[in-house]
Structure 1
Amino acid sequence: MTTAQPVGFWSYTHRDDQLDGGRITRLSERIASAFEIITGDPLGIFLDKRSIEWGDAWRVRLDSALTSTTFLIPIITPKFLKSQECRREVITFSGHAASLGLHELLLPIHYVNVPQLTQGAEGQPADEVVEILARRQWVDWRELRLDDEESPAYRQAVHELALRLAEIIETAPPPMPVEVTPSSQDDEELPGFIEIMAEMEGALPTWQDTIQRFAEIITLIGEETQWAAGEMTASDSRGGGFAGRMRVTQALATRLSGPAEEVDALGAKYWTELAAIDPGVIGFIRRIAEEDLSAEDKQVARDFFKEVEQLVSATRESAMQLQGFSDSVGEAAQGSSRLRPQFRKIQAAVQKVIDSRTIVDEWSRMIDDIDIGDDDQP
Structure 2
Amino acid sequence: MTNEQPAGFWSYTHRDDQLDGGRITRLSERIANAFEIITGEPLEIFIDKKSIEWGDAWRMRLDWALTGTTFLIPIVTPKFVQSQECRREVIAFAGHAASLGLDELLLPIHYVNVPQLAHGAEERPADEVVELIARRQWVDWRELRLEDEDSPAYRQAVHKLATKLAEILETVPPVAPVEVAAIGQGEEEPPGFIEIMADMEATLPAWEDTVQQFAKIIELIGEETQQATEEIQASDSRGGGFAGRMRVTEQLASRLTEPVDKVDALGSKYWAELSTIDPGVIGLIRKSGDDDLSAEDRESAREFFRAIKELAGTTNEATGHLQSYSDSVGAAAQGSRRLRPQFRVIQAAVQKVIDGQSIIDEWRRMIDNLGEDGS
Normalised by the shorter chain, which TM-score bucket? over 0.9
Residues 102-121 of structure 1 mapped to structure 2, 5 A cutoff: 102-121=102-121
Distance 2:103 2:244 in 1: 54
| Matched AA of 2:157 | A
1:53 paired residue number: 53
User: Number of residues paired by the alignment?
Assistant: 375
**1:253 paired residue number:** 253
Structure 1 unaligned residues grouped into runs of 5+: none
SS at match of 1:290: coil
| TM-score where L is the length of structure 2 | 0.98
Q: Which residue of structure 1 lines up, in the alignment, with residue 202 of structure 2?
A: 202
Instruction: Give SS of 1:246's match.
Output: helix
Between the aligned partners of 2:119 and 2:293, the Cα distance in structure 1 is 49
Quick check: 1:333–1:343 contact (8 Å CA) kept in 2?
yes
Instruction: Determine the structure 2 residue equivalent to 1:167.
Output: 167
- Partner of 2:8, secondary structure, is strand
In the other structure, the counterpart of 1:300 is 300
Q: Give the aligned partner of residue 181 of structure 1.
A: 181
Following the alignment from structure 2 to structure 1, what is the Cα–Cα distance between the partners of residues 311 and 105? 29
CA–CA separation in structure 1 for the residues paired with 2:293 and 2:160: 46
* Structure-2 residue corresponding to 1:220: 220
Asked if the contact 1:74/1:108 (under 8 Å) is kept, the reply is yes
Question: Superposition RMSD on alpha carbons, in Å?
Answer: 1.2
Provide the rounded CA distance (Å) in 2 between the counterparts of 1:291 and 1:279.
21
8 Å CA contact 2:367–2:373 kept in 1: the answer is no
Rounded Cα–Cα distance in structure 2 between residues aligned with 1:258 and 1:184: 32
Question: Residues 6-25 of structure 1 correspond to what in structure 2 (within 5 A)?
Answer: 6-25=6-25
**Corresponding residue SS for 1:190:** coil
Equivalent residue number for residue 364 of structure 2: 364
Q: How does 1:326-365 map to 2 (within 5 A)?
A: 326-365=326-365
1:267-286 matched pairs, under 5 angstroms: 267-286=267-286
Does residue 1:44 correspond to 2:32, yes or no?
no
For the residues of structure 2 that align with 1:365 and 1:186, how far apart are their CA atoms?
32
Q: State the one-letter code of the partner of 1:38.
A: I
My pick for the range that moved more, 277-286 or 234-243, is 234-243
- Which deviations, in whole Å up to 9, do the C-alpha atoms of 1:146-205 show, x marking residues without a partner? 011111111111001000101111111111100011132221212100010011111111
1:373 to partner: Cα distance? 7.3
> What is the letter of the counterpart of residue 182 of structure 1?
A
Residue 66 of structure 2 aligns with which residue? 66
- Asked whether the equivalents of residues 12 and 86 of structure 1 are also in contact (C-alpha less than 8 Å), the reply is yes
Q: Cα–Cα, structure 1 residues 374 and 179, in superposed 2: closer, same or farther, change >3 Å?
A: closer
- Please tell me the residue identity of whatever aligns with 1:7: A
AA of the residue aligned to 1:333: A
Instruction: State the percentage of identical aligned residues.
Output: 72
Q: Distance in 2 between matches of 1:28 and 1:263?
A: 40
Q: Structure 1 residues 373 and 222 mapped into 2: Cα distance closer, same or farther (>3 Å)?
A: closer
Structure 2 distance, partners of 1:316, 1:373, is 18
Letter in 2 for 1:282: I
Counterpart contact for 1:211–1:314, Cα < 8 Å: no
Verify: 1:229 aligned to 2:229, yes or no: yes
Contact kept, 8 Å, 1:12 with 1:74, in 2: the verdict is yes
Q: Distance in 2 between matches of 1:372 and 1:198?
A: 20
- Deviation of residue 122 (structure 1)? 2.7
Matched ranges for 1:73-152 at <5 A: 73-122=73-122, 124-152=124-152
Cα deviation code 1:39-80 (max 9, x no counterpart): 000000100101111000000000010011100000000000
Query: CA distance change for structure 1 residues 166 and 290 in 2, over 3 Å: closer, same or farther?
Result: same
Cα shift readout 1:81-116 (whole Å, capped 9, x = no counterpart): 000000000000000000000000000000001110
CA distance in 1 between counterparts of 2:12 and 2:371 reads: 35
Give the C-alpha shift of residue 123 in structure 1. 5.2
SS at match of 2:370: coil
Q: How far did 1:231 drift? A: 0.4
Unaligned runs of 5+ in 2: none
